[in-house]
Amino acid sequence: DYAALPQIVIGVCGGDGIGPTITHEAERVLRFLLKDEVEKGKVTFKEIDGLTIENRAAHMKAIPDDVLAELKACHVILKGPTTTPRAGDEWPNIESANVAMRKELDLFANVRPVKVPEEGIDWTFFRENTEGAYTLGSCGFETEDGISVDFTITTTDGTQRIAELAYDFARKNHKTRVSIVTKANIIKATDGKFLKLCQAVGEKYPEITTDDWYIDIMTAKLVDKKRRTDFQVFVLPNLYGDIITDEAAEFQGGVGTAGSGNIGKRYAMFEAIHGSAPRMVKEGRAQYADPCSMLRASVMLLSHIGYQAQADKLTAALDKCMFTEKALTVTGRDTGCTCTEFGDYVMRTIETL
């Protein structure tokens, strides 16, 4: 309960590429919305600089120890996109920073809302965030005769807590339906267990209808304009949640428009769902980065720590200020508006609400 805390510490990690630009902008808007709380000392912001790929590579660690200690001294974290090293590029083979943070801070739920009001879409995805195909990413191996093996792990506790969070959300928000998505017909031990346990949790919520789908057919259903508006709340294992939320975000205008909340019992971290766009930085266009996803993540952060009125204001302003359409009209320049100009525009809009 954040209301009871003497002070709420919001950690801010810029990350890589355009990350610092858009995260800084989101912090500016948050400070504007929380002005009184910051003045009272109820809310404070703490910059955490060490989550860059250079620092992580220097320490050969997804999250260097001192950075992890700083993160653990916060209550909630706003995080910019971070570079994930991959085979063949200049960085050593360290784990993705957001995946590591999800595990280290036990952020077991990845919550992603997708809304397209004019099409009747109002979905909330509850993606299990610490297990599944993501658990043992560095334990896979290759035998001498060319057989490579990876593992998928699903635990009873891990499944129960994500299912309970999804159904609690559904109950609290008067949703009537929860859809469980797996590939339990093929991936029997782990997905079979996930399906069975989610169904068992669902039985404790008699007012809510439970249905279940295979992930292949669900990616098709989301495209089907006649059927997709029936869905409300989804609960899924890690990998399927990863896959289907990118597809879903596209209907809303792309991954650039979507934020994601990584929620645990002790900590919570809010981030953009897109990458760090190194090309924009290389081409000297970082100042034109679109901060919408970080601002959507900020809405989730505000709501999570109990500032619902501020969250609603920011949502209303963002709905009016959609970056892509408004970027030109704000400045009249044909290069569009900068990230800072867009932030100013959002704050001006908030003042008119």
Ligand X SMILES: CC(C)[C@H](C(=O)O)[C@@H](O)C(=O)O
CA-based Rg of the chain, rounded to a whole angstrom? 20
- Closer CB to ligand X, residue 99 or residue 116? 99
Residue 185 binds ligand X, judged by CB under 6 A = yes
Residue 186 binds ligand X, judged by CB under 6 A = yes
User: In angstroms, rounded to a whole number, what is the distance separating the alpha carbons of residues 78 and 26?
Assistant: 9
Cα 165–126–21 angle (5° rounding)? Answer: 115
Q: Which of 89, 129, 83 is nearest to 105 (CA)?
A: 129
- Closer CB to a copy of itself, residue 152 or residue 315? 152
212, burial (CB in 10 Å: exposed 0-12, middle 13-18, buried 19+):
middle
Residue 98 binds ligand X, judged by CB under 6 A = yes
With CB under 5 to 8 Å by kind, the binding choice for 98 among ligand X, a copy of itself, none is ligand X
Distances (CA, A) of 335 to 22, 285, 324: 18, 10, 12
User: Which of these segments, 5-13, 20-28, 143-151, 301-309, binds a copy of itself (CB under 8 A)?
Assistant: 143-151
Least separation in angstroms between CB 133 and a copy of itself:
6
Residue 150 binds ligand X, judged by CB under 6 A = no
Residue 223 binds a copy of itself, judged by CB under 8 A = yes
User: In angstroms, rounded to a whole number, what is the distance separating the alpha carbons of residues 66 and 79?
Assistant: 17
Least separation in angstroms between CB 9 and ligand X:
23
Residue 99 binds ligand X, judged by CB under 6 A = yes
274, 275, 280, 282: CA torsion to nearest 10: 180
Residue 94 binds a copy of itself, judged by CB under 8 A = no
User: In angstroms, rounded to a whole number, what is the distance separating the alpha carbons of residues 78 and 43?
Assistant: 14
Residue 298 binds a copy of itself, judged by CB under 8 A = no
Residue 27 binds a copy of itself, judged by CB under 8 A = no
DSSP state of 95: P
User: Which of these segments, 91-99, 154-162, 189-197, 202-210, binds ligand X (CB under 6 A)?
Assistant: 91-99
Q: Under rule CB under 6 A, which residues in 221-250 are in contact with ligand X?
A: 242
Residue 130 binds ligand X, judged by CB under 6 A = no
